[in-house]
Amino acid sequence: MKSAKPPAGYRCGVGVVLINGIRRVFVGRRLGTADGWQMPQGGIDGNEAPRVAALRELKEEIGTDKAEILAESAHWLSYDFPPNLRRSIWHGRYKGQTQKWFVMRFTGTDDDIDLNAHMPEFDAWKWVAPRELPALAIDFKQPLYRALLEEFSTELDLG
């Protein structure tokens, strides 16, 4: 799950643990899913730096990049797509995703969040307690979300 550099066969991307002033984490519900809640994430374009990609993805997915970076994952974190989905996601080109994750403090207001600012990926959003993240995530992302809670326990004030 952890590696110093992106492993072969995985799509390189970034993810954002966006926290508000009371240490709640932003999650969006994926379009077309009843319970597919996740944090903002997306691919890295070309030679784009992960930090730049993270802010770009935040802007594309939630309509704002009003955030400051507090921490970056020490390693690339990977997850595999389930075999039944692998062929339908990016035409089977990848066995999963590997990502650099960032904890960011949201510096805007809830009014700055606009899920329709770009091509919508979420149809709803909410702020949740960090410990709720694994239970809200789709099953194959739950280990990743648990690893994020462990790595960023200080930033998320999990004591």
33 vs 122: CA distance, rounded Å: 9
One of 3.30.70.260, 1.20.58.740, 3.90.79.10, 3.90.950.10 is the CATH number of 2-151, namely: 3.90.79.10
Q: Tell me: the pLDDT tens digits for 86-125?
A: 777 766 778 999 999 999 999 999 999 999 999 999 999 9
> What are the sequence ranges of the domains in the chain?
2-151
Query: Residues 133, 151: contact at Cβ < 8 Å?
Result: no
* Per-residue model confidence as pLDDT tens digits over 53-70: 999 999 999 999 999 999
Per-residue DSSP letter, 117: S
